Amino acid sequence: MGDYFALLKPRVMSLVVFTALVGLLVSPVPVHPFIGFVAILCIAVGAGASGALNMWWDADIDARMKRTAGRPIPSGRVEPGEALGIGLALSGFAIVLLALATNFLAAFLLAFTIFFYAVVYSMWLKRATPQNIVIGGAAGAFPPMIGWAVATGGVSIESVLMFALIFMWTPPHFWALALFVKSDYGNAGVPMLTETHGRDATRKHVIIYTLLLVPVAIGLGFTSIGGPLYLAVAVVMNAWFLKGAYDIWRRTDADCEADKHRVEIKVFKVSLYYLFAHFIALMLEAALRLYDLGGW
Amino acid sequence: MPMQVEHELHERRKGRNYGLGLILAGFIAVIFGLTVVKVLQLGDTAQFERFDHVARPQIIPEEGVGE
């Protein structure tokens, strides 16, 4: 049973649940708690299903990399066909139940997210371009938009900016990690920026994407779900992340070897706090609005 | 002598079967809870009766009543 659960990538699922929940809770439309619970369950199951489909498709790559060789399919504990079946069945279940429990837009967005992760990212981009993480990151950025659609039945500037926040955050977050982790993506035939364009180009990409991320994060503060508290958090976290990205950009391979990637490891950790802090601040703004304190 | 011989495979699959049983029970609970919430959200129970797809004379307002 544990192997089937591992197919659903529970760690990715927890981030999806968190961001979808924030999207749902910060929306101006109240949702019945049980319907909200079912919606989050569907989004989590949908995310898990796309994880299973990803593991089914990528079993050949996973078998060639140390980090993933122990996954259920390459280690032989789960048959590829089983993973495909579980992925398809859970996708259907999550999409249909979300449509029945909430609305068709939310269900469509969930279906598109699963399609994007399983087909556009896993089957196509991952093996084709070193920008795979940039466009593939969209799959991880959809959950708050789905949460928002569950409550409001629509898409608006707030949900688009929440999407954009995760979308723009993913590349610098991932590349900071790629700079200090010795990966074997090359052996598996997966083009990663650090290997196709080199580490200097990756450092440049980190600073460029962080610069593009800042206006998105700050801009979200001026929408109906932002407020002074969110803006204060955003200013501090963006300054911190930008400083880290700048430090990475100024470094050379010799610097990295000398201090054992101290800066890259630090920036990777900051990137985790960064996303968490932004979404927590949005939740706090929503909580404060209940007492007529939050927002503008 | 038992009618069915317990195979080693049955023992190995026990965890999986219990897990599946729990998932199915959870699924039933979710659908039941969703049904209750959706019906209660209708507010007026007469609305619910309209889902029966059967003519219900008692929920059709009578003309001239109360005049």
A174-206, pLDDT tens digit by residue? 999 888 887 777 777 778 888 888 888 999 999
The reply to whether A34 touches chain B by the CB within 8 Å rule is yes
Q: How far is the C-alpha of A195 from the C-alpha of A217, rounded, in Å?
A: 30
The reply to whether A35 touches chain B by the CB within 8 Å rule is yes
Distances (CA, A) of A267 to A31, A170, A272, B62: 37, 13, 9, 73
A24 with A36: CB under 8 angstroms?
yes
Determine whether the interchain pair B37/A32 forms a contact, defined as Cβ–Cβ distance below 8 Å: yes
Domain shared by A146 and A266, yes or no: no
The whole-number average pLDDT for the span A219-238 is 96
Query: Does the structure show a pLDDT above 90 at A126?
Result: no
Using H for helix, E for strand and C for coil, what is the string for A78-111? CCHHHHHHHHHHHHHHHHHHHHHHCCHHHHHHHH
Q: Which of A106, A128, A155 is the last residue of a domain?
A: A155
Amino acid A93: pLDDT: 95
Domain shared by A23 and A145, yes or no: yes
A141 with A15: CB under 8 angstroms?
no
Which among B15, B16, B33 is the nearest to A34, CB-wise?
A: B33
A263's tokens: 């800066």
* Residue of chain A whose Cα is closest to the Cα of B17: A1
State which amino acid sits at residue A115: F
Domain shared by A19 and A140, yes or no: yes
| Range of A98-102, A185-189, A292-296, B12-16 with top mean pLDDT | A98-102
Query: Does the structure show a pLDDT above 80 at A88?
Result: yes
Residues of B in contact with A34 (CB under 8 A): 33-34, 37
* Residue of chain B whose Cα is closest to the Cα of A37: B30
Specify the higher pLDDT residue, B45 or A272. Answer: A272
Q: Among A12-16, A129-133, A186-190, A210-214, where is mean pLDDT lowest?
A: A186-190
Residues of B in contact with A97 (CB under 8 A): 30
Q: How far is the C-alpha of A149 from the C-alpha of A113, rounded, in Å?
A: 13
Within 13 Å of residue A168, how many CA atoms lie on the same side as its CB? 21
Q: How far is the C-alpha of A114 from the C-alpha of B1, rounded, in Å?
A: 51
Q: Among A170-184, A224-238, B20-34, where is mean pLDDT lowest?
A: A170-184
Domain shared by A149 and A177, yes or no: no
Amino acid A253: pLDDT: 85
Domain shared by A137 and A271, yes or no: no
Determine whether the interchain pair B34/A101 forms a contact, defined as Cβ–Cβ distance below 8 Å: yes
* Residue of chain B whose Cα is closest to the Cα of A33: B37
**Percent of chain A whose predicted confidence (pLDDT) is above 90:** 67
Domain shared by A61 and A8, yes or no: yes
The whole-number average pLDDT for the span B13-28 is 89
Amino acid B47: pLDDT: 65
* Residue of chain A whose Cα is closest to the Cα of B33: A34
CB interface of A with B, residues 78-117, below 8 Å: 97, 100-101
φ, ψ of residue A291 to 5 degrees: the values are -105, 20
pLDDT in tens, A23-72: 999 999 999 999 999 999 999 999 999 999 999 998 888 888 888 888 88
Q: How far is the C-alpha of A233 from the C-alpha of A277, rounded, in Å?
A: 7
**pLDDT interval class at B45 (50, 70, 90):** low
Query: Does the structure show a pLDDT above 60 at B42?
Result: yes
Amino acid A105: pLDDT: 97
Number of domains in chain A: 2
Domain shared by A83 and A209, yes or no: no
Amino acid B46: pLDDT: 67
* Residue of chain A whose Cα is closest to the Cα of B14: A1
Query: Does the structure show a pLDDT above 80 at B62?
Result: no
Rg (CA), chain A: 19
The reply to whether B33 touches chain A by the CB within 8 Å rule is yes
The answer for A29, left when phi > 0, alpha when psi is -120 to 50, beta otherwise, is beta
The reply to whether B41 touches chain A by the CB within 8 Å rule is yes
Helix/strand/coil for A30? coil
Domain shared by A32 and A116, yes or no: yes
Residues of A in contact with B15 (CB under 8 A): 1
Domain shared by A173 and A138, yes or no: no
The whole-number average pLDDT for the span A83-98 is 96
Determine whether the interchain pair A32/B41 forms a contact, defined as Cβ–Cβ distance below 8 Å: yes
Q: How far is the C-alpha of A213 from the C-alpha of A169, rounded, in Å?
A: 6
Domain shared by A267 and A277, yes or no: yes
pLDDT in tens, A253-267: 888 888 888 999 999
Q: Which domain holds residue A187?
A: 156-296
The whole-number average pLDDT for the span B12-25 is 87
Helix/strand/coil for A221? coil
The whole-number average pLDDT for the span A111-121 is 94
Alpha carbon of B18: minimum distance to chain A alpha carbons (Å) = 9
